[in-house]
Amino acid sequence: MTQLGFIGLGAMGGRMVKRLLDAGHAVTGYNRTRARAQWLLDAGMAWADSPRAVAQASDVVFSMVTNTAALHAIVDGPDGLLAAMGPGKIYVDMSTVSPAASRALAARVAQTGARMLDAPVSGSQLTLEQGKLTIMVGGDRDAFERVRPILLDIGPRATYMGGNGLAVTMKIAINLSLTVQMLAFSEGVLLAEKSGIARETAVETVLHSVVASPAMQYRGPFVLNMPEEAWFDVNMMQKDLLLALELGREVEVPLPTVAVANEWLTAARALGLGDKDFAILFETLAHMAGVGAAKEDV
């Protein structure tokens, strides 16, 4: 049996590990806070005390961390996973980070004789639990084929994008649309509400119209009942939009709607809402429109 390792057991990473355990895989995990992983230990996951220990115990190592800085934190140093990588091992990073940083790391992994894939996902905690998560993969094609059956135990679709960094590029290209859609959705609902239509009626009508994308179908209702735990918070989404804007400058693609959406995320943070799901854009816009007050309403 292929020995799997997983570093970063947060909301998404932890649920991925649970799916792997349920599929019968042997998984060794590490998280900065062990207490958050107790439910996985109870489900059969083995524990390692460092990213390096995970890599030592595993043939295929996965990671899911918040940003480029967090990625370097688990990779570098004497306890970093890179110190235990070697021939025959595959490292699969599922984080959304800078494509340039991902490619640079892949080159360092290759120097150890191992291979690296970037494999970010499109979806949420809900789609992951429902088994509908989409995975994009960049890197060596043979390495992709080797881990593809494992990836399909996480989600039903794993699509090869090409070389290192291209999967995370595709993820950024997808995620930029989410904020733009949420902002437009919020504008429409608020326009209807302030004109005299009940918010609940406006939300229901939009979500049953031709403009209701799958993303809005599951996030649009948040404007009526915001989850206590963010599925994807403002700070994380702004990180992705800044990656998009940086990449847009590099490849000379103007991203005007992304630039505007990014400013609204900054406004949400200024209102103290950075840890809320990015659907809080609705409350941010409502505050400006004189419909409720964002700080008091959430």
Tell me the catalytic residues. 171
Token digits of residue 81: 């996973």
- Of the candidates 168, 156, 162, 179, the one whose C-alpha atom is nearest the C-alpha of residue 268 is 179
| Residue 93 three-state SS | strand
The β-bridge relationship of strands 134-139 and 115-118 is antiparallel
Sign of CA dihedral 146, 80, 103, 65: positive
- CA 290 to the chain's CA centroid: 33
Terminal-residue alpha carbon distance, the chain: 48
> Under a CB-based contact definition with an 8 Å cutoff, are residues 221 and 275 in contact?
no
Residue whose tokens read 């043939």: 59
What is residue 219's DSSP assignment? H
What backbone phi and psi angles, to 5 degrees, belong to 32? -55, -40
Name 116's bridge partners. 91
Q: Which of 61, 55, 5, 60 is nearest to 28 (CA)?
A: 5
Could you tell me the two tokens for 158?
Answer: 């794993």
